[in-house]
Structure 1
């Protein structure tokens, strides 16, 4: 095996990486959806091929783990799309007022816990994708106790930012687990 030319070449072959194929121009909704989809795919990629290691913590005293990120992002998706934009009574799955860090603290090395986290994340992503596809426009609004009135446009941009920040954490967590680095 020859040494990769750049750090990004190590985890995934850029020529085959569909996350990089989104159009660089076009409608605002399509571009936001593509950017968010790429960030979601990056999370999946960073966790690929791991089982028990998903719950490995970054460094004491932090409870940050890849599994915790999956659980956290499932709750984030649920909050913004189900509760705020769709107006559903949908409490977080993994955290609560009594256990605000439950998404990370409950991320333990157990196949059932990991499977439940992925199932929840996929369900929340599917709901979000259906909501966005059915929305008449990006100006659809919802009420949030933290931000006030927010638009679908703002939520999509916020989710891209949220995933990008946490995918940076995922980069470091994955490298610590097995040395895999890159995009």
Structure 2
């Protein structure tokens, strides 16, 4: 998993509320167990018509938002089923940070496990960031995980909270396996001692 330290990028406004995981990645794309390739179908039913043509007015199809790395979203983002394919698709598209007033719990947890930083802010601050994102490609925001600050294109600074353990994992690029490997020396020591004490096991 890539480290998340400081991100400066284009933010896309998506003020819709209750965007569920089926809207993020429809069920017909869940046949794969690979994390790559799903970005092409992110928000598939909103991005494309039935013939597979882009829907021009969908935000991520607009030229200024095609390189979006930050998503400013409406309330209750990631609700619905617990599919981990949803953060897989978001990450594969290139989005590394999502800001909302609230997230569904399972989706929120899955984001951290896949290198995505979900940030919860009060409604007033999300609306401020939404307006900033509406400026388009010239409105680049900076998200600094170390200092826990978002800086708007106008230089306004908004602080955010994040769990200290999750922050450590993102800063160091540690998923569940990576966290285990951090303790490799202790595990090896335990196994050596256990083998000496109980050689018959």
Q: TM-score range by the shorter chain?
A: under 0.3
Larger Rg: 2
Higher relative contact order (Cα pairs below 8 Å, separated by 6+ residues): 1
**Larger helix fraction of residues:** 1
TM-score (norm 1): 0.26
**Larger strand fraction of residues:** 2
TM-score (norm 2): 0.25
